[in-house]
Structure 1
Amino acid sequence: MRLLLLMSRLDYLDDSEALICNAFRRVGWEVVFGEVNAIAAEDYRCFTRGVLLSASGEPSEPGSAAPGNREVYFLDECQLIWVMNPPQDYAARDIWQMLWLASRRTAFVNSIEGMTFLNTKHALGYIVPKENRAFSYTSSDFSFLWDHYRHASDKLWVAKPANAACGQNVFLLTPGGRNVRVILQCITGNADMKSLIFNDKPEITDYAILQKFIPEVEQGEKRVVVTCGEVVAWYGREGNQDDHRSNIVQGGTPKSIDLHSGEVKLAEAIGRKLVKHGVNFIGIDMAYPYIVEVNIGYANGLYNSMVTSGIDRSDRVAELIIAEFEKNFSS
């Protein structure tokens, strides 16, 4: 059996890519590291450049390059495909279209529909129960968001893009903050100013979310990894004194934590709902009872869970995904 991991780059394996590769190889699968941004087609058969690792041999190491010569691998020659990272924006539409067509023949760990329509902050209203999500406004209109902030400017708010990852452009808006107006203009694309400069009608540019601040995040967020509806790994995240964000890539620190039954129940309910949409591996950012974000692309967490707990849970991930594959696609 062959698993294709589609990733952004082959010269650097991130933590999750290495762990997942090793787990599948331990149960006898071949693994291909392939470039998601190199998807192409020959007579409408999709392929990519990549490196094949046999089931035997040395395990992959986080931070290393994928070993071996780059060759062409057709997607329909693989039994299972896992899109680890979304394609770059410049080619995203074409790549998603080709991957969706490839998914008509080959099983994907996370469906293309799920990755394109549910891997967004817009989807929280559908994925997460109302009582477990922060109230928010979404718009590309600066004036709309600015008016709502001003009407409750004695409160803390968070402003962020609707489609971004890794804590990019997430702003904490303080009560009466003098920078709030320019922040909201900036993250909605400065459409009014562009209209003034170019003497043209306002254009729709960037969608942004204005969200009520969740005090629970001050106690630290938890990343919960859910596979096929089952919680498999978790760790805590603490921000530093220089930043309100706790994302690891933004300087946050992973720490060992426990999950209580309510957190497990909530995470698994979200996981089971996404399984119905063909999404089998997610990372949930939680400040119970609130869900901060649900990550389908960039759903890392296995490595930091291993570091903080001392337990490598990637074998359980592989076991669950293979069982789901055999149940639904083995025939």
Structure 2
Amino acid sequence: MRICFIMYPWDRVDPQTDSTIRLIHECVKREHTVAITTPNNLTIRDSVAQVYADVFTKGAKLSNSMVSFYKNAVFKRCQLPLSGFDVIFMRSNPPLDMLALNFLDSVDSGTFIMNDLNGLRIANNKLYTSSFDDEENRFIPVTHASKNREYLERVLKDSPQDKMILKPLNGYGGEGVIVVEKKASSNFRSLLDFYIGDKNKTGNYVILQEYVEGAEKGDVRILMLNGEPIGAMKRVPAENDLRSNVHAGGRVEKHILSKEEKELCKLIGPKLVQDGLYFVGIDVINGKLIEVNVQSPGGISRINKLNGVKLQKKVIDFLETIVTSRKIAIERRKLFTKVIDDVNS
């Protein structure tokens, strides 16, 4: 298998906790041809989509230690046609570079891209959760999004709850997530001015969302592969902090999916696959879906450690199955077309 990881710069990888390096290591371990690059290295040459990439040199002794693997990795710099890869694995961090996706559109039909480009386009922000069918809001919190200050003030005023969650539409990693209380509504306009920005310019969209009880106790990160949950962990926020993200000071605990969480996964799984979102991380609080992370969902290393598993094996198994199935389909088509061509030969 020939696989290209379009990711964040290699020098920003933390080998002790990074998920992408575990996926890369598994591919190298299986002796696949592995290239890594960043969105900035995508290019067009003679009308062909190409990429400047670093290809892992084969033959060197492979360490099972991620730190050692990272430290001793040897690359060969190449300019390569994107359509020559069997798989392109999108692992760049938010925000999504929409222009970079345009370089990949020409190879989308022949190369398996995870996650799918159109899926990334429609699901790269926090509004994607509203696209799931849940009229009674059993699994999806009531969500409002706008840049109209008057409307958002009215939403807070009319809310049956004493508090709501305010966050930027395109934030990630817990950035900018705060609790807004009705009793402090006099300060809400100032907050909106800060989040939305200059009144004389276009401004930024913000989300005002139902406060899910239990948020102060943390959330659950569930990794989904091909519409099914493959692992989970509980993320507990630091003291006096709403955000459960580990890099924001939270900690992780072992977690077994509840009945409600399993039902949630069953509800959203088919649509994720339909949208080409084969590998995602979902954040859940008290059985309700808060976010769907589609670009570079993390958690593999921590879930592995908590449960004594290697989730990267399942992910690469899935990719190998896809590539093998595609190759079989191509060979079958060649065989059948030859039969037809031989009729008049």
TM-score of the pair, normalised by structure 2: 0.85
Within 2, Cα distance between the matches of 1:313 and 1:152? 41
Distance 1:229 1:93, change over 3 A: closer
Of residues 81, 99, 114 in structure 2, which corresponds to 1:109? Answer: 114
- Cα deviation 1:182-218 (Å, max 9, x = unaligned): 1122212232xxx3xxxxxxx4321111111101323
- Paired position in structure 1 for 2:342: none
Q: Measure how far apart 1:292 and its partner are.
A: 0.8
Structure-1 residue corresponding to 2:3: 3
Q: Is this contact kept in 2: 1:271–1:280, CA < 8 A?
A: no
Counterpart among 157, 178, 182 of residue 190 in structure 2 = 182
- Kindly provide the CA deviation profile for residues 112-159 of structure 1, in whole angstroms up to 9, marking residues without a partner as x: 001111122111111363321111211111221122213348611111
Structure 1 residue 31 displacement after superposition: 1.2
% of aligned pairs identical? Answer: 21
Query: Does 1:162 pair with 2:165?
Result: no
Deviations 1:290-327 (A, max 9, x none): 01111101311111111222322211121123223433
Larger mean CA deviation between 321-330 and 125-134 belongs to 321-330
Q: Show the counterpart of 2:52.
A: 49
Q: Is the 8 A contact 1:162 1:209 kept in 2?
A: yes
What displacement does 1:104 show?
Answer: 2.8
Asked whether 1:70 is paired with 2:77, we answer yes
CA distance, structure 2, for counterparts of residue 296 and residue 262 of structure 1: 22
Deviates most, 235-244 or 307-316: 307-316
Give deviations 1:36-86, integer Å, cap 9, x for gaps. Answer: 222111012222222112565425736946642433232112110011015
Three-state SS of the structure 2 residue aligned to 1:125 is helix
Q: Distance in 1 between matches of 2:219 and 2:12?
A: 27
Residues 274 and 280 in structure 1, CA contact (< 8 A), matched pair in contact too: yes
1:22 aligned residue: 25
- In the TM superposition, residue 329 of structure 1 has moved relative to its aligned partner by 6.1
List alignment gaps of at least 5 residues for structure 2: 331-345
Which residue identity is paired with 2:310? D
TM-fit CA distance, 1:284 = 0.6
Contact persistence 1:226–1:268 (CA under 8 A): no
> Residues 127, 26 of structure 1: CA spacing in aligned structure 2 closer, same or farther, 3 A cutoff?
farther
Distance 1:153 1:259, change over 3 A: closer
Aligned residues: 319
1:132 maps to what in 2?
Answer: 139
Partner in structure 2 of residue 209 of structure 1: 207
Instruction: Give the distance between the partners of 1:31 and 1:212, measured in 2 at CA.
Output: 43
**269 and 237 in structure 1: CA distance in 2 versus 1, 3 angstrom threshold:** same
Name the counterpart of 1:239.
237
Aligned to 2:153: 146
Root-mean-square deviation over aligned CA pairs: 2.3
Determine helix, strand or coil for the equivalent of 2:167: strand
Distance verdict in 2 for CA 1:107–1:144, change over 3 Å:
same
Say if 2:233 and 2:253, in contact at 8 Å, map to a contact too.
Answer: yes
CA distance in 2, matches of 1:321, 1:31: 13
Match for residue 306 of structure 2 among 300, 305, 308: 308
**d(CA) in 1 for partners of 2:107, 2:255:** 40
CA distance in 2, matches of 1:179, 1:214: 22
Task: Pick which of 297-306 and 268-277 moved more.
Answer: 268-277
Q: Match for residue 315 of structure 2?
A: 317
Greater radius of gyration (CA) = 2
